[in-house]
Structure 1
């Protein structure tokens, strides 16, 4: 007797699980390389977590220290100390929220945005060196896969 046919939904779930397994294998070395590239690009006075904080605030103007702490997975005092350092270095600014004077809103300064652009440009160049051995077709596949991943995870 033949095995029962799988529903399209269960087949998709199996394919998704298989793909997730491939991601779990492929992403760690990619992220290790990415972190190394970022460290090389950053000014010695700025840590990778500080850069992540700067990027978060730049992408979410008006965010709070609590939101930043949740994003970074750190305590509120840790995030607050990081914000203080970024303000002292001129990369962030804070202001009292117009609608709620108990809330502090964060924003990247022009200096912070310029630093992010510089680091991103350098990181993009360094990462490109790791992709030079791929054919144009393979690069197109990677680009398509990144677009799909961005779409799938952008709501997370």
Structure 2
């Protein structure tokens, strides 16, 4: 007779194998429908409020550099989905506002390293806080059970996609 652990593994494996393959496809369709809707909402909120005085690409730049200090301009342009020239112009505006520090890479002459300044980090945090507050206000109309379901679902999605994302 197998150990309790191996029995649990087998039963969880059989559950996964017994799932209807269309269930994951239906879920994927809902994810692809919902995430862009949420992102459009966040972008519209940021544009409407103008409280942060950041464009969406500038916000995305600050957020990327917060997660990737020392990133190159090429890495930033890839993240933003724009040319290096566009990313450079966007970054230059942030440098002029003292939100980003641009410096030569120590070992590669043609590469620059980009880092948030303290002021940039503070501004990014303020922008995030404003949007989080607005989203929290919207979620206040839900029950605790509904909020818990959303929270659990987002945690699962995070785990699935975190390991697949590129830095």
TM-score (norm 1): 0.87
| Paired position in structure 2 for 1:34 | 42
Task: Give the match for residue 18 of structure 1.
Answer: 26
Local SS of the residue matching 1:107: strand
Counterpart CA distance in 1 for 2:32 and 2:108 is: 43
Structure 2 spans left out of the alignment, 5+ residues? 1-14
Quote the Cα distance in structure 2 between the aligned partners of 1:8 and 1:87.
Answer: 50
Q: Which moved more, 1:68-77 or 1:32-41?
A: 32-41
When the two structures are aligned, how many residues end up with a matched partner?
Answer: 150
Residue 43 in 1 paired to residue 47 in 2? Answer: no
**Equivalences for 1:3-152 in 2 at 5 Å?**
8-9=16-17, 11=19, 13-39=21-47, 40=49, 42-44=51-53, 46-152=54-160
Structure ranking higher on relative contact order (CA contacts 8 Å, 6+ apart): 1
Q: Is the 8 A contact 2:100 2:120 kept in 1?
A: yes
Q: Quote the Cα distance in structure 1 between the aligned partners of 2:72 and 2:114.
A: 6
Report if aligned partners of 2:52, 2:126 keep a CA contact under 8 Å in 1.
no
Q: Name whichever of 25-34 and 139-148 sits farther off.
A: 25-34
Q: Tell me the SS of whatever aligns to 1:101.
A: coil
Normalising by structure 2, we get a TM-score of 0.81
Unaligned runs of 5+ in 1: 1-6
Distance change in 2, residues 1:101/1:17 (3 Å): same
1:21 positional shift = 1.4
CA gap of 1:67–1:13, structure 2 versus 1, over 3 A, is: farther
- Residue-by-residue CA offset, 1:45-78 (whole Å, 9 max, x unaligned): x211111011111210010000000000001110
SS at match of 2:19: helix
Find the aligned partners of 2:157 and 2:132 in 1 and give their Cα distance.
18
Pick which of 31-40 and 115-124 moved more.
31-40
